[in-house]
Structure 1
Amino acid sequence: MNFVIDWLTFFLIEQPEGEGGAKHVRMSRFLSGDEYQKSELRPFLDGEFARIAKRKVEPNPKSEASPTKLGRFVLEEGHPLESNPNYALLQRLLAAETPGESREPCQELVQSYLRTSQVRGGVLLVVRTRLETLDDRYVFILKCDFEQKTAIITDEHSLIANVNMAISAKNMKSLMYPHMVEQGMNDPYHVKIHQFSHARYFEEFMRFIEYPQTLTQLVSEEVLSLARQHIEYVYPEETEERLRAEEEIELIAASPKRELAEKWEHDTVMEAAQIITERQPEAELKFKLDHMQVRALLADYGINLHIAKTNGRYVVLLEGDTLQFERGVSPVEFAKPKSLHEVISEIEERSRSCSAAPPAADPDDRPPWE
């Protein structure tokens, strides 16, 4: 996959007074395709455009921290795609055939970028490209932050020389439009954005682009919807029990940490899990049993992962064909597995001993109101 560069715009962004200083463009340069081929930018960016185009992206990222996302243009109901300011600007960049024609939309873009909070100094590149074998045109917006404490090797006397404004393509942020679904198939409704930074300013400067819900958010909404349907089925009338159950669901939705509710029968849980996994096969199941972390797929529940209870204590049973260990070696790796019945007997015996009744409290220790 080879990209031909039609034109490239180079902006050097400075923030002279530290993090709180006003950012400004210190230098800009507009290059034609021929000028780009003769410049030092060509070996610097060599292979980056194909790498960005091939980078995989999911319709719904697994988490908010996913570096690569698909953005969709925000549209008011009844309005055409052209009414979105970000779409209109990207279309002007796509339509610009020469560096001169790109000057005005590029200036608008960099000014929008400078107005975004938390933007850091560095180099902003706007590039129009096309595939060598096709006539499809693409706009790439690239940002390289300044590298800290960078030096070059000099000679045996001075050894190194400090560099104040070094950039690297290693953690380069990128936006590609239109989204290339596959070579020869483009999606004009989406942009592909990539950034590793915890600050999401490379998303924020395109204010009229929205990003999809994460897989976790989608699954959570589906679970809550199924829970509300279950409440309506169990309590068809507006009773106190129904109101109490609905309040509990809202508390669960708002709580970052939750304990096992113990409300649904196993078959009900399996039916709900099947509905979700049919739509989201990769939906995860993560929970903590005391200090032990368990991570599996939701599809594993009831098949490879089981939850039980004995004498007030929870038991999680995992089953599979292989058992692998990583990193540090432990004596557990040499264990001969016990039979399942033997383990269950030991668990039940230990649970009974732990749940033995505590000694009666001394009468003198009783509260005064008894």
Structure 2
Amino acid sequence: MDFTVEYLSFFVIQTEGSDRHFKHYKTLDREAYAGSELKEFLDGEFTRIIKRKVEKHPNSEQPPTKIGRFLIEPGYDLASNPNYSLFHRLRAEPTKDYFFGCADELVRTYMNASAMRGGALIIARARAERVSSEPFVFVMKCDFEPKIARISDEHSLITHVEMAINAKNMKSIQYPHMQEEGMLDEWELKVHQASHARYFEDFLKYISYEKSMPEIISHQVFDMVQEYMDNKWQGGRSSRQGYGASDGNGWSAGGGRGSEGMQNAAAYEGWDAGPSVGNSTDGERGAADEEPMGSTMDAGTVDTNWTAGAHEPEPGSFRDGDPYQAIHGETASEDYAESPIRLPVHASAEQAREAKELELWAASDKRNLQEKWSTEQVIEASQRLIEEKPELELKFKLDDVLVKAKLADFGDTLHIAQVGGRYVLLLEGDAFRFEKGFSPVELLAPESLEDVVRRIGSKPVKPPELY
């Protein structure tokens, strides 16, 4: 994939403690870039950025590459977003001087990012005629590399190189995002930063990022837990949208987010992320509010209790004055959604105790089996998640044994039971496969399941551990 660079601005950023400043070295046009040393340095980087794979809903919580989407206030068009406006002008400016003016504006915006490092910031406009006649804007940042030296002579051996950069750990922004070859989306850009520090994406204040699959699944499971509590303790009274009728055991069939989970989980209160793609329709992404574009907001805050696009408060919700409170006895506040379990004011002590147990469970990184739902309830709940992501992983430990499977395997080929006060994990399949390393287990003639269960049941029960 050959790129033709139309304009490129090269800046150097230096930081000394809290002091930070930048210098514009040069802005190149097509002819100047073709004959520069920078062309060899960046050769292949544009193609590498374009072809870098990215998922709308990544499987990890901190993926190196993300899709960002411009936020707008309901009722306004895309041009009202300052970040979009700047990138649009970088794509459209007709002369080198105008391009430099926009690049300078972007660098000044970047200088306000938190925890930024010194290095070279390169802003380029380039075309790849084979895939699209439209230009791309690339923002590339190479941090200064410490302790870089070159071989000098037999006396001094090495000479330290100041302000050294390389393209290996380059951070980048590509606009617009190309979903497929030749298919550009002006609402989206692609951000790559292979480090835990997120400052390279932080300087774009009016960009939203889709939630990762672990975050989406967590929200959906919390919805199911709230549904379970509502139906168990309130006779089926539902405080969230989409809950069905209870089966009498604190569970309702057909409720929860359903197939709209991934769309609704990505909605940001008071902002519209523009027309959605795929199967979603216009207006599903954003909920209307009155936060102006220029004010301070946290683009990572998600209102999981307000369906995207629903401008009116749901009956019986906080927004409608329903007397709910956090389980610690506090009145409802703007951050009520942080607690996964909500209780009515006059909740019983037993109800509050169970809610507290579930809250502690939800807040823990290492969790135990809760023993609250039947196998059928777990299968039904899992099915809602599997409908959206069939390959959803199930991973847990039984004592020190790590088990990796698919969530869809539970209740089919993977079973959990109790025998004699101990947990038993049953895996069924047609054949074993042993790989590296031999063991006597490979010579086993399996006994019957009944004999195994009888042997497990005859084991003495371990006394509880004292702390």
TM-score of the superposition, structure 2-length normalised? 0.70
Change (3 A) 1:325 1:173: farther
Change (3 A) 1:272 1:42: same
Q: Distance in 1 between matches of 2:95 and 2:453?
A: 75
- Candidates 28, 32, 35, aligned match of 2:32: 35
Are the aligned partners of 1:219 and 1:283 in contact in 2 as well (CA < 8 Å)? no
Matched, 1:148 2:258: no
Q: Distance in 1 between matches of 2:192 and 2:370?
A: 39
Q: State the one-letter code of the partner of 1:3.
A: F
- Candidates 443, 452, 457, aligned match of 1:336: 443
Q: CA deviation at 1:142?
A: 0.5
Q: State the one-letter code of the partner of 2:77.
A: P
Please show how residues 261-276 of structure 1 align to structure 2 within 5 Å. Answer: 261-276=370-385
Q: State the one-letter code of the partner of 1:332.
A: S
Residue equivalent to 2:8: 8
Please show how residues 57-136 of structure 1 align to structure 2 within 5 Å. Answer: 57-133=54-130, 134-136=132-134
- Candidates 362, 377, 386, aligned match of 1:253: 362
Q: CA deviation at 1:43?
A: 1.1
Please show how residues 178-193 of structure 1 align to structure 2 within 5 Å. Answer: 178-193=176-191
Matched, 1:289 2:286: no
Q: How many residues align?
A: 351
Q: CA deviation at 1:167?
A: 0.8
Are the aligned partners of 1:6 and 1:98 in contact in 2 as well (CA < 8 Å)? no
Q: CA deviation at 1:243?
A: 5.6
Q: CA deviation at 1:73?
A: 1.3
Q: Distance in 2 between matches of 1:322 and 1:111?
A: 61
Higher relative contact order (CA 8 A, sep 6+): 1
Q: Distance in 2 between matches of 1:267 and 1:249?
A: 20
Q: Distance in 2 between matches of 1:74 and 1:28?
A: 33
Q: CA deviation at 1:59?
A: 0.8
Q: Which has the larger radius of gyration?
A: 1
Cα deviations across residues 27-86 of structure 1 (Å, max 9, x unaligned)? Answer: 421111111111111111111111111111111112222101111112222222111111
Q: Distance in 1 between matches of 2:420 and 2:75?
A: 60
Residue equivalent to 2:23: 26
Are the aligned partners of 2:61 and 2:215 in contact in 1 as well (CA < 8 Å)? no
* Greater mean deviation of Cα atoms: 122-131 or 281-290: 281-290
Are the aligned partners of 2:419 and 2:456 in contact in 1 as well (CA < 8 Å)? no
Are the aligned partners of 1:224 and 1:249 in contact in 2 as well (CA < 8 Å)? no
- Candidates 405, 411, 414, aligned match of 1:305: 414
Matched, 1:47 2:153: no
Q: Distance in 2 between matches of 1:40 and 1:290?
A: 58
Residue equivalent to 1:323: 433
Q: Distance in 2 between matches of 1:266 and 1:354?
A: 26
Q: CA deviation at 1:284?
A: 2.2
Q: CA deviation at 1:354?
A: 2.5
Q: Distance in 1 between matches of 2:390 and 2:209?
A: 21
Cα deviations across residues 324-365 of structure 1 (Å, max 9, x unaligned)? Answer: 545xx4x537632442526x634653553331789xxxxxxx
Are the aligned partners of 1:216 and 1:283 in contact in 2 as well (CA < 8 Å)? no
Q: CA deviation at 1:228?
A: 2.6
**Which has a greater percent of helix?**
1
Change (3 A) 1:103 1:322: farther
SS of match in other structure, 1:199 = coil
Change (3 A) 1:283 1:143: same
Q: State the one-letter code of the partner of 2:383.
A: Q
Residue equivalent to 1:228: 226
Are the aligned partners of 1:308 and 1:315 in contact in 2 as well (CA < 8 Å)? yes
Change (3 A) 1:338 1:192: farther
Change (3 A) 1:356 1:62: closer
SS of match in other structure, 2:228 = helix
Matched, 1:162 2:160: yes
Q: Sequence identity of aligned pairs in percent? A: 45
**Which has a greater percent of strand?**
1
Q: Distance in 1 between matches of 2:447 and 2:222?
A: 35
Q: Distance in 1 between matches of 2:98 and 2:440?
A: 67
Matched, 1:314 2:423: yes
